[in-house]
Amino acid sequence: MIYSEKVMDHFAHPRNVGEIEDADGIGEVGNAKCGDIMKMYIKVNDGVITDVKFKTFGCGAAVATSSIATEMIKGKKLEEALKLTNKAVVEALDGLPPAKLHCSVLAEEAMKASISDYYKRQGIDPEPFVGKQSACDCENCDV
């Protein structure tokens, strides 16, 4: 299996690792059974993601996709951030091995989950903005 240099760079030097104590939204996706958990924290000001941090339990691709996803949404308006797709994450990393594509989906979902949480905390129904939170489709999960 071969990882791109971009993936290895984000794995070895992940951007925005950590927690935000007074986060405005926190999203956690994946589960330990499947071997991937991503947790994303966002700080929102005037509809703009001013800060974002993540913690990930998972493989190299899981760390790299969460790292680059935080870079791609930092400083963005919420509606712009929500346009981030797993495909864009993969492209930004110069590709992922086929078996690792699900990690990019998790990164997209972690981002959406954190924004959903933000809307909920504001008393706003997130569904019109974020859509339905997709369930994990792997065979191990009953999520």
Partner 1 sequence: MKKRFVYADNAATTKVSQKALNAALPYFTELYGNPSSIYSLGMNCAKAVLKAREQVADAIGAKANEIYFTSGGSESDNWAIRGCAKLGEKKGKKHIITTAFEHHAVLHTCRYLESLGFEITYLPISNKGIVTARQVEEAIREDTCLVTIMTANNEIGTIQPVAEIGEVCHKHGVLFHTDAVQAVGNIEIDVNKMNIDLLSLSGHKIHAPKGIGALYIRTGIALPNLIYGGAQERNRRAGTENVPSIVALGVAITDAVKDITAKNEKVRKLRDKLIDGILKIPETRLNGDREQRLAGNVNVSIRGIEGESLLLTLDLEGVAASSGSACTSGSLDPSHVLLALGLPHEIAHGSLRLTINEENTEEDIDYILQVLPPIVKRLRSMSPLWERICKTENIHDYTLD
Q: Running DSSP on this structure, what letter comes out for residue 16?
A: S
Neighbours of 87 (CB within 10 A): 12
Please report how close the Cβ of residue 32 comes to partner 1 at its closest, in angstroms. 4
Q: Is the dihedral of CA 141, 90, 67, 123 positive or negative?
A: negative
Our finding on whether 11 is near partner 1 (CB under 8 A) is yes
- Contacts for 131-138: CB closer than 8 Å, 24+ residues apart: 133/109, 134/109, 136/29, 136/30, 136/31, 136/34, 138/34, 138/102
Taking CB under 8 A as the criterion, the residue among 6, 9, 20, 34 binding partner 1 is 34
Taking CB under 8 A as the criterion, the residue among 6, 8, 43, 77 binding partner 1 is 8
Our finding on whether 35 is near partner 1 (CB under 8 A) is yes
Our finding on whether 15 is near partner 1 (CB under 8 A) is no
Residue 103 bears catalytic tag: yes
Our finding on whether 55 is near partner 1 (CB under 8 A) is yes
Q: Of the ranges 51-59, 72-80, 83-91, 116-124, which one interacts with partner 1 (CB under 8 A)?
A: 51-59
